Amino acid sequence: NQKLLEVRNLKTHFFLEQGIVRAVDGVDFTVFRGQTVGLVGESGCGKSVMARSILRIVPPPGRIVDGEILFHQGVGKGSTGQSGQEDVIDLVKLDPMGSKIRSIRGGEISMVFQEPMTSLSPVHTIGSQIIEAIVLHQPVTKEEAREQAIHMLERVNMPHPNRTIDRYPHQLSGGMRQRAMIAMALSCRPSLLIADEPTTALDVTTQAQILTLMRDLQEEFGMAIIFITHDLGVIAQMVDYVVVMYLGQVVEMADVNTIFYDPKHPYTQALLRSIPRLGRKSAQGQTGRLTAIRGSVPDPYARPQGCPFHPRCRKAIRGVCDQQDPPFLEVEEGHKVRCVLYQ
Contacting positions for Mg ion (CB under 5 A): 48
The mark string for 249-268 relative to ligand SF4 (x by CB under 6 A, - otherwise) is ----------------xx--
Q: Which amino acid is at 205?
A: T
Q: Which amino acid is at 12?
A: T
Alpha-carbon Rg for the chain, nearest whole angstrom, is 20
> Rule CB under 6 A: is residue 326 a binding residue for ligand SF4?
yes
Q: Which stretch binds ligand SF4 (CB under 6 A): 58-66, 76-84, 94-102, 311-319?
A: 311-319
Q: Which amino acid is at 262?
A: D
Length of the chain: 343
Residue with nearest beta carbon to Mg ion: 48
**Near ligand SF4 in 137-196, by CB under 6 A:** none
Q: Which stretch binds ligand SF4 (CB under 6 A): 109-117, 167-175, 272-280, 309-317?
A: 309-317
Question: Considering the complex, what minimum distance in angstroms separates the CB of residue 43 from Mg ion?
Answer: 6
φ and ψ of 269, to 5 deg: -60, -40
The CA distance from 42 to 246, in Å, is 8
**Near ligand SF4 in 268-307, by CB under 6 A:** 307
Residue 127: how many other CB atoms lie within 10 Å:
23
Of the CA atoms within 13 Å of residue 114, those in its CB half-sphere come to: 11
Q: Which is nearer to ligand SF4, 89 or 329 (by Cβ)?
A: 329
Distances in Å between the alpha carbon of 38 and those of 29, 41, 46, 133, 302?
Answer: 11, 10, 13, 26, 27
CA angle, 30 then 323 then 269, to 5°: 50
Question: Considering the complex, what minimum distance in angstroms separates the CB of residue 271 from ligand SF4?
Answer: 12
The CA distance from 283 to 306, in Å, is 43
The CA distance from 186 to 179, in Å, is 10
The set of residues, in sequence order, having a beta carbon less than 8 Å from that of 72 and lying 6+ positions away, is 2, 3, 4, 5, 6, 86, 87, 88
Q: Which is nearer to ligand SF4, 288 or 326 (by Cβ)?
A: 326
Q: Which stretch binds ligand SF4 (CB under 6 A): 83-91, 148-156, 278-286, 313-321?
A: 313-321
Q: Which stretch binds ligand SF4 (CB under 6 A): 47-55, 125-133, 281-289, 308-316?
A: 308-316
Question: Considering the complex, what minimum distance in angstroms separates the CB of residue 26 from ligand SF4?
Answer: 16
By CB under 6 A, name the one of 19, 257, 315, 323 that touches ligand SF4.
Answer: 315
The set of residues, in sequence order, having a beta carbon less than 8 Å from that of 144 and lying 6+ positions away, is none
By CB under 6 A, name the one of 172, 192, 259, 339 that touches ligand SF4.
Answer: 339
Question: Considering the complex, what minimum distance in angstroms separates the CB of residue 269 from ligand SF4?
Answer: 9
Binding site partner of 48, from Mg ion, ligand SF4, none, Cβ cut-off 5-8 A by kind: Mg ion
The answer to whether the beta carbons of residues 167 and 129 sit under 8 Å apart is: no
Question: Considering the complex, what minimum distance in angstroms separates the CB of residue 250 from ligand SF4?
Answer: 13
Binding site partner of 321, from Mg ion, ligand SF4, none, Cβ cut-off 5-8 A by kind: ligand SF4
Q: Which stretch binds ligand SF4 (CB under 6 A): 51-59, 78-86, 268-276, 334-342?
A: 334-342
Helix (H), strand (E) at residue 200: none
Site of interaction with ligand SF4 (CB under 6 A):
265-266, 307, 309-310, 313, 315-317, 321, 326, 339-341
